Homo-oligomer: A and B are copies of this chain.
Amino acid sequence: MMHSQLFPKTLKEASRDAVAANHKLLVRGGFMDQLMAGSWTLLPLGWRVVGKINNIIRAEMNATGGQELALPLLHSKEIWNETGRWESAADIMYTLKDSREREYALSFTHEEIIMDLIRKHVSSYKDLPIKIYQFSTKFRQELRATGGILRGREFLMKDMYSAHESEEDLMAYYEEVKQAYLKIFARLGLEVIVTEASGGVFTDKHTHEFQVLAESGEDTIYYCSECKQGQNKEVLSVAEGDKCPWCSLGKVVVGKSIEVGNIFPLGTKYATDMKAFFTDKNGKQQPFWFGSYGIGPTRVLGTLVEVHHDEKGILWPKEVAPFAAHLVGLKDAGEVYEELQSAGIEVLYDDSDRSAGEKFADADLLGIPVRLVVSAKTGDKIEWKDRNSDETRLMTRPEVVSALSTI
């Protein structure tokens, strides 16, 4: 893409209320824009990154046998009443009435909707297990919508749901998803701590959260720095300084962190409440064993910036960077741009008539992993600089194409 086409351009400053790094840098870089507190537009650059995050999540969900679908966001009061959550989740749900005074909620999750779908379509153990997921907007009343895109009243969520004929089968898949999540976060460039937690408005059972240590995190976790397992405060059975009860190698330490994913072994409560039964191998009616599994791609976007930035800007991990290379033309570099594009390399080409200093500052702010400079000084060659290094080197065009093609 040409810089001249990019909407919007970078900003010199974020607003005064920006405290978190993701808020400052994603706003200044033109990745996102605040419509109102807790409400963010994902601008073209930010949406590119979220698209890459989503593709990684999608690939790993599909690898577990998941199938993607799309569920409605507006739900009737009646369906939420079936599990009692119209009342128990009243604080966080937005509710509304239509012109006929019928009541609805805006979705903050989809367990009830999925269970309704399953009870309509599945009657036999032969059709189990079911593994379905979506990427969709979730709404949550947030009185303290701070921390940039880490906490919003409206956000993107990948939510997966699975239904099984037995607890054994549910827990085997739960473990498979846990491993898939570890793979996802590793690919995303995030080091996570798998943390035992309570189930909030979802379940009475223990659940697992995927936590990333970061200054802007709002959660406190107790974890072992050796095995990267932990507990949050609600289920705490260890104390700071304890020998690690999981691997018995490390010690328990305390950290402020960000929850980027969670998995819930929900059991049979939802099926029982909603009278969702199937016929098992012996011809008996049984409630479905149910699980749900979430990752917030927009929160991941913010978390990536929290853990991958310096005083000049963002440092995107390669798999999620909006472009593979940022080509800075200090003379006409149109030919180089064309050559990289035809080689299938995603390039942002700064073709503006701004000063070298302004262009370099933009490149540092935007955080694309590789900066390429073409100038009078570089002659026929191209100057290559990694975002995470100060070293530059001159390379020929074929060398650049080949190096970027293998990334």
**B96 pairs with A94, CB closer than 8 A:** yes
Q: Which of A17-25, A73-81, A312-320, A387-395 is near enough to bind chain B? A: A73-81
- CB of A96 to closest CB in B, whole Å: 4
- CB of A37 to closest CB in B, whole Å: 10
The residues of B that contact A43 with a CB separation of less than 8 Å are: 69
Cβ of A357 < 8 Å from any Cβ of B? Answer: no
Contacting residue for A39 out of B72, B91, B141, CB 8 A = B72
Cβ of A355 < 8 Å from any Cβ of B? Answer: no
Interface bits A25-57 vs B (CB < 8 Å: 1, else 0):
000001001011001111110110010000000
Cβ of A120 < 8 Å from any Cβ of B? Answer: yes
Cβ of A132 < 8 Å from any Cβ of B? Answer: yes
Q: Say yes or no: A96-B99 contact (C-beta < 8 A), given A121-B33, A137-B137.
A: no
CB-based nearest B residue for A74: B154
Chain copies in the assembly? 2
Contacting residue for A70 out of B50, B72, B96, B121, CB 8 A = B50
Q: Which of A3-11, A207-215, A369-377 is near enough to bind chain B? A: A3-11
**B8 pairs with A74, CB closer than 8 A:** no
**A76 pairs with B36, CB closer than 8 A:** yes
CB-based nearest B residue for A105: B96
**Total contacting residues, chain A, CB less than 8 A:** 56
**A95 pairs with B94, CB closer than 8 A:** no
CB-based nearest B residue for A73: B137
The residues of B that contact A35 with a CB separation of less than 8 Å are: 71-72, 75, 79, 113, 116
The residues of B that contact A9 with a CB separation of less than 8 Å are: 121, 127
Cβ of A346 < 8 Å from any Cβ of B? Answer: no
Q: Say yes or no: A72-B132 contact (C-beta < 8 A), given A9-B121, A94-B96.
A: no
Cβ of A98 < 8 Å from any Cβ of B? Answer: yes
The residues of B that contact A96 with a CB separation of less than 8 Å are: 94-96, 106
Q: Give Cα distance in the complex from A321 to B288, angstroms.
A: 32
The residues of B that contact A8 with a CB separation of less than 8 Å are: 117, 120-122, 127
**A121 pairs with B67, CB closer than 8 A:** no
**A7 pairs with B44, CB closer than 8 A:** no
Cβ of A151 < 8 Å from any Cβ of B? Answer: no
**B65 pairs with A7, CB closer than 8 A:** no
Contacting residue for A69 out of B47, B67, B68, B106, CB 8 A = B47
Cβ of A299 < 8 Å from any Cβ of B? Answer: no
A357-374 interface (Cβ within 8 A of B): none
Cβ of A130 < 8 Å from any Cβ of B? Answer: yes
Contacting residue for A44 out of B113, B122, B132, B137, CB 8 A = B132
**B95 pairs with A153, CB closer than 8 A:** no
Interface bits A127-170 vs B (CB < 8 Å: 1, else 0):
10010100011010101000000000110100000000000000
CB-based nearest B residue for A91: B99
The residues of B that contact A67 with a CB separation of less than 8 Å are: 5-7, 44
**B121 pairs with A65, CB closer than 8 A:** no
Q: Give Cα distance in the complex from A75 to B35, angstroms.
A: 8
Q: Give Cα distance in the complex from A44 to B161, angstroms.
A: 13
Q: Give Cα distance in the complex from A73 to B76, angstroms.
A: 19
**B7 pairs with A74, CB closer than 8 A:** no
Q: Give Cα distance in the complex from A33 to B121, angstroms.
A: 10
Q: Give Cα distance in the complex from A1 to B9, angstroms.
A: 44
A-B contact pairs, 18 of them (CB 8 A): A5-B65, A5-B67, A7-B130, A8-B120, A35-B75, A35-B113, A39-B72, A40-B72, A41-B70, A41-B71, A42-B70, A44-B68, A47-B70, A73-B137, A74-B139, A94-B98, A136-B137, A137-B137
Starting from the known contacts A36-B76, A40-B72, A99-B143, 9 additional A-B residue pairs (CB-CB under 8 Å) come to A7-B127, A9-B127, A39-B72, A41-B72, A41-B113, A47-B68, A47-B69, A74-B106, A96-B96
Nearest first, the 3 A-B pairs at minimum CB distance are: A8-B121, A96-B96, A44-B67
